[in-house]
Structure 1
Amino acid sequence: MTALAISPADILHFAHKHAGAGVVLVTLVGIAGSSPRALGAQMAVAADGDYRGSFSGGCIEAAIIAEALAVLDDGETRMVRFGAGSPYIDIRLPCGGGIDLLFTPRPDAAALGAILAVLDKREPAAMRLSRHGICVEGPATIETGWHGDEFGVTYSPRVRILAMGHGDALTATARLAHYFGAETRAFSPSKDDVTALSAEGIAATLLDSRSRTPMIEADRWTAFAFLFHDHDWEEMLLPWALRQPHLFVGAIGGRQSRTDRIAMLRSHGLSAATLTRFSMPAGLIPQARDPATLALSVVSEIIGAYHCIERDVQIARHKEEGVDDPLLPV
């Protein structure tokens, strides 16, 4: 099952793979008006014209590839405007805006590999781009954007979704999460669930005991989705998940299930502050009943939480520096 879209890590892997034969890393470093992509979006173009990533719906990619191949031959970093204000008057963005792209020929393979190694450890990573190439930015302490004559790009680990439950609610959620491109693992007491998901290339583990928790190291990019109809399975698993570092913990169920669940969690000594961060019922669509809608509802809430992390990090950093956050309402 192929992921829904190319991720930033996929682009870096492609660039790293083709570094020996020649590749150009293209980075969105400026926006005039509106743009389909955000600052820091990237595209990698190999010497044979193959590429990963995009900056539009396909209206300027051919021109970007041609420019990248010219940069590869020339060997010099260059910045080019496409869209409004561009010297290429016949190339326009449908949104009417303009974007500035930085073309970096032959990025250092060791630097790319170092960034990928950090992401593989599920830690944030960053790079700085300049006319001299790219360099790795230790821990990801910079923001995406210009820093003097260098442009910084930050990368977060891929969202991890641990779906726990049984039946159609579990399998639908695991399939959708996997198709979206999340690092997905499913856990079920049903051998049929495990067999079906494993056959589709989704990591699935059999839960064979209510008293044993999985051997998993969670982090702030890890989401737990509880999709049990037999809520007895949550007695050990749910308190364990809430005590882990996590992006999200949510569970499905009706009003009585929610009441019983809160009482159970309090009996395990979980604080009120912890319980306020627990999503119950999980999902953005109220009273979702069929498995497909439920899966969409739950996965959407998780991805929304994942995209809020970068904003939260930026706000915290600005507060430390005594800078008003431009994203906060006045």
Structure 2
Amino acid sequence: MIGAMTHRADPESIPETALDWHRAGRGAVLATVVETWGSAPRPAGSQLVIAGDGAFMGSVSGGCVEGAVVLEAAAALTEGRPRLLSYGVSDGDAFAVGLACGGRIRVLLQPVGAALPEAVLAALVAARTARRGVALLSNLTNGAVRLCDEADDPLAAEIRQALRSGHATLHGEWFIAPHLPPLRLILIGASHIAQALLPMAQACGHDVTLIDPRDAFASPERFPGARILHDWPDTALAGLGLDARTAVVTLSHDAKLDDPAILAALASEAYYIGCLGSTRTHAKRLERLQITGVSKESLTRIHAPVGLKIAAATPAEIAVSILAEIIKTHRQSQKALTSFSFTSGKISHRGPGV
């Protein structure tokens, strides 16, 4: 149950944090960049959540106007009404709260439980937890919000485009904010490289799972706080499911562990498949996989030797090269943004005017 869950408070889990703070009685206001001009430091769709006690998580301007937004959020929470704020270098108080880069932004404040009903936010969090793409629509004129199924929505085409591109958009008086599942990284093999790669990937917003049936290798002592599965990779991956926002990296140097994971990844929509090992090791790997019936075309999806060529030598450097290649592949691939179902039905709410 969503209500019983405690979510990690980080910039990649703003809706979850907002719901947790609201249900804990702290109060919460969701701040979202809805429009930008010029050299705005953060794109439309960037979010900040502010608690009633002034704590906040996330960013709408990279630090330029957060202080002013926090103050406005306190007033919005008291009133229980949304607010639409504008900031820019031309403001009279630009030195205090303006954008030094010269851009302008508009920020929508939505108090949770009022302008943003708890049921809508809970449904959004549930969709993210279930790894379903969904769009939250906010009306900048009358304050109405809805969580949509693109199939029967008047803005179906715009919602579909936002979900496929991953970019928020303003259409008339409606702001369309796509919420895609978090990027996920699955590591096969509790190696020394995995010890360095796992926290790096988490810091970049990836939801990381480590799979290794060897308890002594995949232990909480070696990977504190990590999500660890001690099943064999084929069993574990079947349970997790691999979608188009998932990357799989094999690090065990053991074909009994790596090969079943590679086969499962190749049969999925995983956007990145990387395998540790030398060029000679990879050639032998390809021979084994071809014997199982994998086509040469499918095998070209494998990044091996894994990682960008940066002359990495230490485990940490190799981890950097792997993560850099994963990020590069994701940014260059539209496939990572397209293959998601939408939430069924829609929740509508008409709130107070902005």
TM-score greater than 0.5 by the shorter chain = yes
Deviation at 1:241, TM superposition (A): 2.2
Measure the CA separation in 2 of the matches of 1:279 and 1:290.
Answer: 19
Q: What's the counterpart of residue 128 of structure 2? A: 119
Matches within 5 A, 1:87-126: 87-90=92-95, 91-105=97-111, 106=114, 107-126=116-135
Measure the CA separation in 1 of the matches of 2:268 and 2:106.
Answer: 42
Structure 1 residues 35-77: Cα deviation after superposition (integer angstroms, max 9, x where no partner): 2211111112232222221123423211111122223334443
Amino acid in structure 1 at the alignment position of 2:16: H
Measure the CA separation in 2 of the matches of 1:76 and 1:147.
Answer: 22
Please identify, of 271-280 and 61-70, the stretch whose mean Cα deviation from structure 2 is larger: 271-280
Q: Tell me which of 17, 21, 31 is aligned to 2:20.
A: 17
Say whether residues 1:273 and 2:279 are aligned partners.
no
Q: Tell me which of 45, 54, 62 is aligned to 1:49.
A: 54
Amino acid in structure 2 at the alignment position of 1:141: R
Deviation at 1:224, TM superposition (A): 0.8
Matches within 5 A, 1:190-205: 190-196=214-220, 200-205=224-229
- Kindly tell me the number of residue pairs found equivalent between the two proteins: 310
Structure 1 residues 148-184: Cα deviation after superposition (integer angstroms, max 9, x where no partner): 2110101111111111124312322223323444221
State the SS of the aligned residue for 1:233.
Answer: helix
**Is contact 2:28-2:77 (8 Å) kept?**
yes
Measure the CA separation in 2 of the matches of 1:146 and 1:6.
Answer: 23
- Unmatched runs of 5 consecutive residues or more in structure 2: 1-6, 151-158, 163-167, 339-354
Q: Tell me which of 304, 325, 328 is aligned to 2:328.
A: 304
Matches within 5 A, 1:28-177: 28-90=33-95, 91-105=97-111, 106=114, 107-130=116-139, 131-138=142-149, 141-143=160-162, 144-177=168-201
Describe the shift of the 1:207–1:15 C-alpha distance in structure 2 as closer, same or farther (beyond 3 A). Answer: closer
Structure-1-length-normalised TM-score:
0.83
**Is contact 2:31-2:60 (8 Å) kept?**
no
Measure the CA separation in 2 of the matches of 1:214 and 1:311.
Answer: 20
Measure the CA separation in 2 of the matches of 1:254 and 1:189.
Answer: 24
**Is contact 2:89-2:103 (8 Å) kept?**
yes
Measure the CA separation in 2 of the matches of 1:199 and 1:276.
Answer: 32
Deviation at 1:121, TM superposition (A): 0.6
Measure the CA separation in 1 of the matches of 2:257 and 2:318.
Answer: 20
Deviation at 1:242, TM superposition (A): 1.1
Measure the CA separation in 2 of the matches of 1:81 and 1:288.
Answer: 46
State the SS of the aligned residue for 1:123.
Answer: coil
Describe the shift of the 1:309–1:76 C-alpha distance in structure 2 as closer, same or farther (beyond 3 A). Answer: farther
Matches within 5 A, 1:174-323: 174-196=198-220, 200-206=224-230, 214-216=237-239, 217-308=241-332, 313=337
Alpha carbon RMSD of aligned pairs, Å?
2.8
State the SS of the aligned residue for 2:182.
Answer: coil
Please identify, of 148-157 and 73-82, the stretch whose mean Cα deviation from structure 2 is larger: 73-82
Structure-2-length-normalised TM-score:
0.78
Measure the CA separation in 2 of the matches of 1:4 and 1:181.
Answer: 11
Deviation at 1:213, TM superposition (A): 6.3
**Is contact 2:271-2:336 (8 Å) kept?**
no
**Is contact 2:35-2:170 (8 Å) kept?**
no
Measure the CA separation in 2 of the matches of 1:298 and 1:26.
Answer: 34
Q: Which has the higher contact order (CA 8 A, sep 6+)?
A: 2
Describe the shift of the 1:258–1:184 C-alpha distance in structure 2 as closer, same or farther (beyond 3 A). Answer: same
Please identify, of 81-90 and 32-41, the stretch whose mean Cα deviation from structure 2 is larger: 81-90
State the SS of the aligned residue for 1:195.
Answer: coil
Describe the shift of the 1:175–1:17 C-alpha distance in structure 2 as closer, same or farther (beyond 3 A). Answer: closer
State the SS of the aligned residue for 2:138.
Answer: strand
Describe the shift of the 1:197–1:307 C-alpha distance in structure 2 as closer, same or farther (beyond 3 A). Answer: farther
Structure 1 residues 265-324: Cα deviation after superposition (integer angstroms, max 9, x where no partner): 22121123312222112212344331111111112222333344568758xxxxxxxxxx
Structure 1 residues 84-104: Cα deviation after superposition (integer angstroms, max 9, x where no partner): 233533322232211111222
